[in-house]
Chains A and B, each alone.
Chain A
Amino acid sequence: MKLDSKIPEGPLAEKWARHKFGLKLVNPANKRKYDIIVVGTGLAGASAAASLAELGYNVKALTFHDSARRAHSIAAQGGINAAKNYQNDGDSVFRLFYDTIKGGDYRAREGNVYRLAEVSVNIIDQCVAQGVPFAREYGGLLANRSFGGAQVSRTFYARGQTGQQLLLGAYSALSRQVTTGKVKMLTRTELLDIVVEGGKARGIVTRNLITGKIESHSAHAVLLCTGGYGNVFYLSTNAMNSNVTAAWRAHKHGALFANPCFTQIHPTCIPVKGDYQSKLTLMSESLRNDGRVWVPKTKEDAEKIRKGQLKPTDLKEEDRDYFLERRYPSFGNLVPRDVASRNAKYVCDEGRGVSKTGLAVYLDFADAIKRDGRKTIEAKYGNLFEMYEKIVDDNPYETPMMIYPAVHYTMGGLWVDYNLMTSIPGLYALGEANFSDHGANRLGASALMQGLADGYFVIPYTVGDYLATIGPADKLPVDAPAFKEAEQRVTSQIQRLLSIKGTKPVDEFHRQLGLIMWDYCGMSRNAEGLKKAKKMIQDLKAEFWSNVRIMGENEEMNQSLEGAGRVADFIELGELMVDDALNREESCGGHFREEHQTEDGEALRDDANFAYVAAWEYQGENQPETLHKEILEFENVKLTQRSYK
């Protein structure tokens, strides 16, 4: 298989404009002859569904939630980047492009990232026009804040609820199209298979989560906007139901899966408390604007704090180690996420961690409160502080917050070309579900940007080119054999799961998988551990398929059955992640191989051998996957050792 990224020729700044001009158009009167399925209604899905319906296509959008408004995009707190340069602080499209490429540790495509930076400015305009209440200055202009990995202020925000407000904006646009009849909305409907026939995506098979009914849906193109796979770690900041099933089942039909080992560990999350823990809560990165990260200088003090014999506020300034400020004087607390996370791990590994578990560091606002006053801090972060207090039962205005890294985002995903098309013609992947723009590490406030860029401003152009090429007649009826076979596959997998009747609940398998992934394929990885993990995952898979216990039937609402299908896919994905991490004999961004580090413990890339996208091709049940390499070419940035010192 030859991977063609379809990056257009020409100078970086002209690529997208030239490409758009070269794309085929569908005549307005013909658009109504095409059907498009959009799976998932988060930022990418809702914006794509609304925009395509506005153009005149017939859209069928589906979500497993009870409403499109509940997708996990809603939980993004901090903000969305855009190269508006409203602050006159030297921002530009090129700088946003450059920061993103560098932040991603040079493992993303230049062409894609430049386009992302280019359309970022349109996103803000669009959202404001929809009535998204972004934060403003007293004079009425939009406010900005700064974020990790950047030295300009380019992040737009709506209190600590930016994702919610952007999603509600996209949801409102989607709702408007439901009323016009151009979008048919299916809620509580889960994708369980993709139908590929004659080398093209033809539609999907779904399960109605209320009745259990298995149904086929046919279309000219299918868009997977189904988010990331962070829940492979069980504990993550992702919502409980976020899963990889749609992407994984597409992968099994031939869609390549790219860079699965690129996962992002977010530095500022509320630490784990007990075995019963079901998920981790993120504290927005924006807090690092004003909060200072520290641990005690000595192990002895740290131990006293862990035992409750010493209060953090009693520790003198000279006995504290502000380790990010010390190691990275120019970026300080605002280093990118992977760097901040790894350093928190180091100090905890040294025995200087706090909280009862020793797996936490402080994020301290005392200086900011002294400098700006409590009111200012409250206005900026009030809801985050409240959230922290509700969970931890501790007041962060008085005692420093405790934080620890947690899995947050997955840069890897389905391989797509410049048009966002996967390696299966007619099947697209948007937003976090694809791999395209963040390389080996995503910068803060860039996920919202990418989801909306893909949905509002990229797919409306690129999908038309494919549709115009195939023509309206190129569609299968839902009673075609390909659909019947897919329905049969889905039904028999469900029956197989229900008939195991083992002893162990689904969640316990998920928790076990998560621990394996966190211990061996988490913040730092080594060959020995990864090989061990591979074996453990294979054993877990065998146990799952012989001992999982699912109560109830298919023909009803059955949450354990839903979970079982998702965990089955996570287990298989886990193994591929381990393979990918083993293959990538270098450290870059979120992927840190202990064997490959500089003398002072920074990630050591190997550009000569690994400046490529690792795209994996499925070869059948329990068969090793085939690796395809898309070599990354850098014409506009020079690859350097990333330094935030």
Chain B
Amino acid sequence: MKINLKVWRQKNNNTPGKLVEYQLDNISPDMSFLEMFDVLNGELTKKGEEIVAFDHDCREGICGSCSMYINGRAHGPQTGATTCQLHMRSFNDGDTIVVEPWRARAFPVIKDLIVDRSAFDRVIQAGGYVSVNTGSARDANEILIPRTVADEAMDAAACIGCGACVAACKNASAMLFVSAKVSQLAILPQGKAESQQRAERMVAQMDAEGFGACSFTGACSVECPKSISLDHIARMNREYLGAKLTSDNVQG
């Protein structure tokens, strides 16, 4: 296959970037999208040009590193898949493909297609955990958790923290990411004790990071490679509202 690429090149956060065109002639339809970038980088090196920087690691759709905005869609044309799971057979010979980094104020560009997603870590640090020290746990089967409940928690827990939800949202809101964690831990008995406080703290951190507000258009869920449901946003809103209405949890 022949592919025309328009790739966002940006030296660093202080330098303006631009789309640069590249042509690739010998692309196999069985190649993954990132392997196509490996080919491009091999050619660039041989030509004495700097390679395109992009985040990637597991290349099997679970680490959440890869993050390309392809032809106007987070992770490209497939649904329920990450960039690394996209294959060139999803494109046609001669296609022009535009590749950009995630665009969001809370995710500043570091270089080329790499953005800084540390805001997500700080949101988790604000409360995305159960406060239990190593060694203080009871027997794992002591609390019964019906299968349906465990399954629903697992649906939320499947989030890989890639940031596609933010990239897909016109407001660059992180509601789907934040709610997935709030919801997982609110559903499970282990997380119940801190659930309201958790919602409050994580939402406060989300706002502090500069993510936009949620207008519930659902683009996040459509583009989420793990198809996380909007139900979790509803559950987080309920937790949050509950927290705001109970005086003992009001903060600040």
Contact = CB atoms under 8 A, between A and B. Distances in A.
Contacts of A390: 61, 78, 81, 85, 87
Most B C-beta atoms less than 10 A away, residue of A51, A135, A179, A282 = A179
A503 B117 CA distance: 35
Most A C-beta atoms less than 10 A away, residue of B120, B128, B137 = B137
Category for how many chain B residues contact A: 35 or more
A391 interface: yes
A171 B124 contact: yes
Given A75-B60, A138-B146, A128 B38 contact: no
Nearest to B154: A133
Contacts of A164: 62, 158, 160
Contacts of A282: 60
A551 B11 CA distance: 13
Interface stretch (A139-147, A317-325, A580-588): A139-147
B134 interface: yes
A631 interface: no
Contacts of B140: 84, 124-125, 127-129, 134, 142
Contacts of A241: 57
Contacts of B144: 139-141
A70 interface: yes
B48 interface: yes
Contact of B31 (A141, A276, A279): A276
Contacts of B116: 66
Nearest to A209: B110
Query: Mostly helix, strand, loop or mixed at chain B's interface?
Result: loop
B171 interface: no
B56 A240 contact: yes
Contact of B58 (A54, A75, A172, A552): A75
Contact of B124 (A70, A175, A457): A175
Contact of A172 (B42, B117, B128, B154): B128
Interface stretch (A402-410, A435-443, A555-563, A634-642): A555-563
Interface string B141-185: 101111100110110011011000000000000000000000011
Contacts of A560: 41, 45, 51
A131 interface: yes
A159 interface: yes
A277 B146 contact: no
Contacts of A68: 121
A50 B136 CA distance: 14
Interface string B91-129: 000000000000000000011001011101100111011
A158 B145 CA distance: 14
A161 B87 CA distance: 22
B150 A557 contact: no
17 contacts: A66-B55, A67-B161, A126-B134, A129-B138, A132-B157, A133-B157, A136-B145, A138-B146, A142-B140, A164-B160, A210-B110, A276-B39, A279-B60, A393-B87, A456-B134, A551-B49, A551-B50
Given A171-B124, A210-B111, A273-B30, 17 more contacts: A72-B57, A72-B58, A126-B135, A128-B190, A131-B153, A135-B154, A136-B150, A163-B62, A164-B160, A165-B157, A172-B128, A175-B128, A179-B126, A279-B59, A387-B60, A391-B87, A551-B45
Closest 4 CB pairs of A and B: A140-B144, A172-B129, A129-B137, A125-B137
